Structure 1
């Protein structure tokens, strides 16, 4: 209702932590939604580092034009050890007051939200988080901004690797991002038809991997492809290759680490739409008087989750997908 609208004159927006495709679409949506309600927007460069070191710039319609299709973040991102301290957060709060910023939209993952939550509690800053991380590990939203793009980037690479693996009858161990979570490894494993997907959430010892691969060889497969999350307890693809190559001498065991290629590139349509919805929603919930919350999409409906809940634990993998991967391999 109109009577419930909180008067906000200026919103600050920043991106923090690891970059993910779609962050620019979220920045654009925050700005455009704010302009629609006659609210000023100030962009903060280099995340919390820039918040402390006064890297502020006023955004306008031109500032956010022609960025929705771009990967990375036009506001840049950086880590800030100083922001982890009370003194650092006090400097940040003073800068927000200096620029008469009424509320802050933070685009990032759990580290970003942890900082935003502390800033709000210590200095009364109104904050809303927008989940953007390729790991897809934030609870309170079905998908995070950047996940779909990273997934498709990894899958495209794995499909190409499968072609050369089959041509030369090789065994490829492909390492994807996911230090603490296996969302990318699990879904690319299923989508690529990989023989195995090794996940941080699933305890898989090297001997068990060897046994499963030997069972597959009995089916006279000409090539083999294993997707390994970088945080899997086998030690990643390089260490796993060292541990199994002597047992599979009939194969030319190769390793491919996809690395940061998964962070780059133009966001998919799905990520652009998700980022646009969440960026605009962040402005709306601030105008409704909410703070210390994250906006997400669950079952295609917008949802608000307290930041303290969003950072309390990692989102769990869908165990029906884990079971499916076992059936299909």
Structure 2
């Protein structure tokens, strides 16, 4: 089973509210808190949206190296659900999930924040069907012109082709490619592009979408790592063969998310206006999403004892 977003579930002794505790990893730090954790805390304190995980406060345990982020509690994450569900999500339920992800992303992107690690294990869901984007350790703010950033971000299966080919300027388009991978994974009930290496990942993308070129992706030939790969000659877009049952509107949305040229890729706003979400089956309401008490109980039983703890409120 894949690891959960939080390390512990706890009870706030003041409000009696159940919260999640995420331990700040200090293993290799000799001079204070890791930069990634500081960035995550700084960003999350500014973010307030129903589809973004809530950072309530930062607490310190018995030792200074025991620092925890106190987060709003979500009963499950999508990755472990997908691995353990007996019946896959229906298309109406998939639309409900993706719409919430898109709303959270639109909010982030309007604040000039790129998540940079969207994947199903970083999407949490409450028992009321509310989906929340989590884990902002790789998130960054960006501006114009964009500053160079390392392309070694986003889990491989969800990594956009421009990152795989070494582009160092990043925009919200890398999050939107990941949304396309997540939507396809939920529809197909399995990962769309499960590469085992960067070159394998590129090859899977080419097999699915065809070989990129300057006509469809201006600047492609000048990307830093293009000369290191010999891409297979594949002239066809095979999305329709991969999803023969999907409506024309659904295929249009996927194709829009999987544009090779990052400048032409769909934005969160574009997606929210897609006719795919206005046609039948219509997205179900979040409160009508299924709950998974058996999965949750099984997961709780598999964790070590002592994860149910009481958190004392404190100041960072």
- Provide the TM-score with structure 1 as the length reference: 0.27
**Higher normalized strand content (fraction of residues):** 1
The structure with more radius of gyration: 1
State TM-score, norm by structure 2. Answer: 0.28
